[in-house]
Amino acid sequence: MTRPLLPLADAAPAERADAARNREALLREAVRMVAEGGTSSLTMECLAHRAGVGKGTVFRRFGSREGLMAQVLDLSERDWQASVLGGEPPLGPGAPPWERLVAFGESRLRTTLLHADLIRAAGDATGSRSVAASSFMALHVGHLLGELGVAGDLPLLATALLAPLEVPVLVQQVDREHLPVERVVAAWVDLAGRVVSARADAGRR
């Protein structure tokens, strides 16, 4: 059975408490650097300087710049998943399933665009993160579709709804074709509505 994205501590050998705190502090500083200056501002040397540690410490913690980017992305993913699992509705629990599905699609779309450069910078180092993140999203969307009475192969229907929210698709639409984000969001909501309506009707036949 698939499961949501694992915390960073579960994805690596056990660390001493002080080492884990230092690692988390470095990651949070890296997140601030990306927010302030984009991924180009985040180098191992700059992070070491900002955090007041030696460059060797940063390399020991993350191995490479690609590894650092992957863990910054993982941290962002954990925060986003927490908002889906326990944040305010409609993204979090407490709203009707259709409202949650719409909020999920818009939030994921905007988050993907926000972190597109970071996702690309992480490169191959995001392999396990991508599998875990995809599993989490597919499980969540499949669950919402089930609550909406959708009939059919829910895992594959969920994957079909998630495909337009991936980086290559969104970058093509927004950055290259210059489509307004609001139009892309509206199109995704329309797609989700058609899937829900069609498959729910099929289940009642």
Pick the residue with more confidence: 55 or 202? 55
Per-residue confidence (pLDDT) for residue 166, from 0 to 100: 92
List own/partner pairs for 142-150 with CB under 8 A and 24 or more apart: 144/97, 144/100, 144/101, 144/104, 145/101, 145/195, 145/196, 145/199, 147/97, 148/97, 148/98, 148/101, 148/196, 148/200, 149/200, 149/203, 149/204, 150/195, 150/196, 150/199, 150/200, 150/203
Closest CA to 115 of 80, 74, 73: 73
Per-residue confidence (pLDDT) for residue 201, from 0 to 100: 63
- Spelled out in words, what is the top-level CATH class assigned to the domain 11-63? mainly alpha
Question: What's the chain's average pLDDT?
Answer: 86
Tell me the whole-structure pTM to 2 decimals.
Answer: 0.80
Bond from prior residue into 90 cis (ω within 30 degrees of 0):
yes
Please state the rounded mean pLDDT for residues 126-144.
83
Whose structure tokens read 């929210």? Answer: 165
Whose structure tokens read 């709203």? Answer: 95
In single-letter form, the type of residue at position 11 comes to A
CB distance 119 to 67 below 8 Å: no
